[in-house]
Amino acid sequence: MIRRSFIAAVAAVATLPFQAQAQGVSGSLLLYTSQPEKMAAETVTAFNAKHPGVKVELFRSGTTEVMNKLRTEIAAGAPQPDLIFIADAMTMEALKAEGRLLAFPDAPVAGLSPASYDKDRTYFGTKLITTGIVYNKKASFVPQTWADLLKPEAKNLVSLPSPLYSGAAAIHMGVLAMQPGIGMDFFKKLAANGAVRKSVADGEKMFGILVDFMAISEAQKGAPIGFVFPTDGVTAVTEPVAILKTAKNPAAAKAFVAFLLSEDGQRLAANQGMLPAHEKVSGPPGFPALSAIKVLNADIPAILKNDEANKKSFADLFGG
């Protein structure tokens, strides 16, 4: 009877929602992240308010440097982090293909679009950072679609980010290149219309392709710019998080992922000026409702497959 009671108790715990199982997690947790320093500190503080028994240690840098460090450790046979929290899903997809990510089948994904997380639940988008069109309020017109950037009135007045250096730009190019009615032809026409790799901040260009929060936050500070979510759809990166199979504290790592996906974690994202991925959490001031934004589907495995060819095309059109 004692053995049966023990087995029943274990089974009961296993069927509890993950949030209930996660109570009381403790120990050290090593996080590699590309979040800006202030945001990373806020994220850890908010997580620790829920799980004070976990000591979170950080390595923080840009996604490229984070991955260079992780790749060096993998090559040496000693990957160190429990989890990684970086800008784009293409990097996660590559790690998944190598069998390096731990599946988290009971992650709390209610309220999140299935498009925001891996179907096998090895990585999870934590927000939507969309790419749209920024325009100077002195511009002769306000663009509404991607094709508007090809108008004669926009000739030599458009700047765009480079997929050679930006994960968001690589996904943006990858998604639009596969979009019916847009395709790679759009980038060829942009180049022919005089678009360049140049910052909008210098004031020389009337239009730019840019991530949402950068433009909206500057507009709120008084910059004479506006931001458009094109009616034919925006592309998005999701700032995904994933647990490594080699994690030394998988229980705490799962608690961290669960916090980011929870309504509290999503409200933190909104307070940081980002568009949350959770349907029940409102975005920050200046953002429309998530339901009002058309987000184009991103086939991450296909984008990863085409990435090198896309980058070569971009370099040929706009320079390396």
- pLDDT value at 6 more than 90: no
276 DSSP β-pair partners:
127
| Same domain, residue pair 58 and 35 | yes
Residue 14 in any domain: the answer is no
Residue 13 in any domain: the answer is no
Q: pLDDT tens digits, residue range 202-218?
A: 556 899 999 999 999 99
| Same domain, residue pair 134 and 196 | yes
| Same domain, residue pair 301 and 169 | yes
User: Identity (one letter) of the amino acid at 68?
Assistant: N
Give the range among 31-40, 41-50, 146-155, 285-294 with minimum mean pLDDT.
285-294
Residue 7 in any domain: the answer is no
In this prediction, residue 12 carries a pLDDT of 40
- pLDDT value at 241 more than 70: yes
Four-residue CA torsion sign, 263, 269, 272, 274:
negative
- pLDDT value at 11 more than 50: no
| Same domain, residue pair 120 and 33 | yes
Residue 223 in any domain: the answer is yes
Q: How far is CA 122 from the centre of its chain?
A: 15
Query: Per DSSP, which regions of the chain are E strands?
Result: 27-33, 54-60, 83-85, 123-125, 127-136, 158-159, 207-211, 225-228, 235-237, 240-243, 275-276
Contacts of residue 137, defined as CB under 8 A and 6 or more positions apart, other chains included, come to 224, 225, 226
Residue 9 in any domain: the answer is no
pLDDT band at 9 (very low <50, low <70, confident <90, very high): very low
Q: CA 269, CA 283: separation in Å to the nearest integer?
A: 9
In this prediction, residue 63 carries a pLDDT of 86
Which single residue is written with the structure tokens 């001031």? 285
Q: CA 293, CA 233: separation in Å to the nearest integer?
A: 7
Q: How many domains does the chain have?
A: 2
Q: pLDDT tens digits, residue range 41-98?
A: 999 999 999 999 999 999 999 888 999 999 999 999 999 999 999 988 999 999 999 9
In this prediction, residue 299 carries a pLDDT of 92
More confident residue, 201 or 186: 186
Q: pLDDT tens digits, residue range 122-141?
A: 999 999 999 999 999 999 99
- pLDDT value at 24 more than 80: yes
| Same domain, residue pair 117 and 200 | no
> For residue 272, what is the DSSP state?
T
| Same domain, residue pair 26 and 148 | no
Which single residue is written with the structure tokens 């991925």? 277
| Same domain, residue pair 143 and 227 | yes
In this prediction, residues 182-194 reach a mean pLDDT of: 97
> Both tokens of residue 64?
């490229």
| Same domain, residue pair 278 and 300 | no
Half-sphere CA count of 239, side-chain side, radius 13 A: 23
In this prediction, residue 201 carries a pLDDT of 46
In this prediction, residue 19 carries a pLDDT of 55
| Same domain, residue pair 141 and 176 | yes
Sheet holding 240-243, edge to edge: 54-60, 27-33, 83-85, 240-243, 123-125
CA torsion, ordered 107, 251, 80, 301, to nearest 10 deg:
-10
User: How many helices (H) and strands (E) are present in the chain, helices listed first?
Assistant: 11, 11
Mean pLDDT of the chain: 91
Quote the pTM value.
Answer: 0.82
- pLDDT value at 286 more than 80: yes
54-60 and 27-33 strand pairing:
parallel
In this prediction, residues 182-192 reach a mean pLDDT of: 97
Q: CA 212, CA 227: separation in Å to the nearest integer?
A: 7
Which single residue is written with the structure tokens 């028994």? 53
In this prediction, residue 22 carries a pLDDT of 65
More confident residue, 174 or 63: 174
Residue 144 in any domain: the answer is yes
Long-range contacts of 8-15 (CB under 8 A, 24+ apart): none
| Same domain, residue pair 180 and 267 | no
| Same domain, residue pair 180 and 300 | yes
| Same domain, residue pair 43 and 80 | yes
User: Identity (one letter) of the amino acid at 128?
Assistant: L
Residue 8 in any domain: the answer is no
pLDDT band at 10 (very low <50, low <70, confident <90, very high): very low
Give the range among 21-30, 242-251, 256-265 with minimum mean pLDDT.
21-30
pLDDT band at 197 (very low <50, low <70, confident <90, very high): confident
Nearest to 163 by CA among 64, 36, 293, 78: 64
Residue 51 in any domain: the answer is yes
Considering only the C-alpha atoms of the chain, give the largest distance between any 2 of them, rounded to a whole number of Å.
Answer: 82
The enclosing domain of 55 has a CATH number of 3.40.190.10
In this prediction, residues 221-246 reach a mean pLDDT of: 96
Contacts of residue 151, defined as CB under 8 A and 6 or more positions apart, other chains included, come to 141
Q: What's the Cα-to-Cα distance from 20 to each of 14, 17, 25, 161, rounded to whole Å?
A: 10, 6, 11, 43
Let me know: does 66 contact 86? Beta carbons within 8 Å: yes
Q: CA 274, CA 145: separation in Å to the nearest integer?
A: 23
Q: What's the Cα-to-Cα distance from 206 to each of 126, 211, 249, 309, rounded to whole Å?
A: 32, 16, 50, 29
Range of the domain at 133: 128-236+296-318
